[in-house]
Structure 1
Amino acid sequence: MEDIAGGRVHISVHIEGTTNTSFLAELGNIYGAEHVLVYQLAQKRFLRLSDLPYNPAASLIKIGKDLLENAPLISQIIPDNGNPAPSPAGGYSRKELPPDTAVVYGHFTPNLFRGIFDNPFISIILKDPLERMITSYKEWKGKQGIVDWRATIPYKKNITFRDFALREEFINFQSKSLGSKRLGDYDLVGVTECQASFIAQLRNKDWTGYVEPLPKGYPLEKSRYKNLGITQEFLEEFQSANQLDYSIYQQAKEFMGYC
């Protein structure tokens, strides 16, 4: 069965804090890892997913950075067996992507590929704004601020979640990540909570079996929220500041029809 993109190059927009490496692995399963080009934000270069040794505990971004800094290693990862050539030393530039590219994935807006691909298939996954910030805060704390994001702040171990989440850099960040397009302009829209359905749709399979009603609201009495100092007062302030993100997140759920 043909994938939903129907042969069009798939631009997979990844917003920080929404999905993990399991989603990228699924793209590799669908299109073939050698045809998935992963964007290395700091270097502004692309590497084939097949050039990145998959390790669920490792950061693919860090692996890519290491490979770009140690270019001779790349040619040793994939033998000359008739498969597409491995990424060149230094990776691919935006304007020099190989003709066998099926997917480009990473932290970018679709604007990056204006004039590069003819009629691409564009997808995006959104996440509940508060949950995305919780994920991002934990990653930022765990890595002591060493994250390859488009927006970040210097690491200070005493920064509270409240101060982190209400930084101007992060307000309505998902809305900004749409680029010049509206959500309705995307070919496929999903939400993190229903990633399995999103992947089923990519595979052009029946996804109705993945219907799962989601609980509404935040159980602020649970330790997940209490330990971060998330109170009703903070929640109201956060939701007010991120009205655009909550609006497009709700729209994304409506596009999916059930989640």
Structure 2
Amino acid sequence: MASAIRPIGAVLVVCSLLLVAGCTGSIGFLEDDPQESDVDVDAGALETNVEATESYHVEVERTLRAAMVNETTTIDGAIDVTSRRAHLTMTTETHVGTDPRTTETEQYVLEDTRYTNDDGEWVRTENGNWTETHRLESATGSFENATFEPIRTETVDGVETTMYELNVSEERETELAGIDGSGHVTTSLEEFAYYVLIDTETDTLYGTDMRMQVSQGGEPAIVTVETTFTDHDEVDVTVPDEIPAEATAGETDDEESAD
């Protein structure tokens, strides 16, 4: 069965499968630097720029750290917003004890249809969600009623940005963490931090950085998700003609989740 490139919130699905006892550590809250600029963020202008963005490059690195499990997943993607197309590759390295495992996935997305390379065969999955693919747009969903606290400056793709801690409601923290109460074992959010990287001169979003400690059945794990947006309006996605023509039908998302 073809595996899907998972959205940010689905990191906790991995936690629920791999969480074990004895995890220690810190999610690494960043300290304010009073010498850095405290230019006000224009959330409305940020959202307007995102809505006008025709394409971009996205990179995601998410990590899971528990007592006997370390997992790192990287996603590299070209997103063509105008055509609602994307080309994504994902690599996951999982270390359980002394048995490391690496998996790689390639995927094309055409609107809400996914084409995933499953051992050389392209598998089509309907009922996808373009919002999960269009991470730049979904990131702005946290701006409403949030406050921005400046942390430091950071250069992204040659552009000087300001990192802000985004202070959101507890309800929104839970949504971002992907905790919905549907698991057999209660999962709780113990610590949470969410940062955004913004070029305040052009009102452009260049990245997000989510860090959290979760507890399932009383056992903790550390999860981080760092996302970078670059090459705004400079990306093109071409889907090979043979992929839609040769792809076999896969299970729908509902069928996958029932497995």
TM-score bucket (shorter structure): under 0.3
Scaled by the length of structure 1, the TM-score of the pair is 0.28
Scaled by the length of structure 2, the TM-score of the pair is 0.28
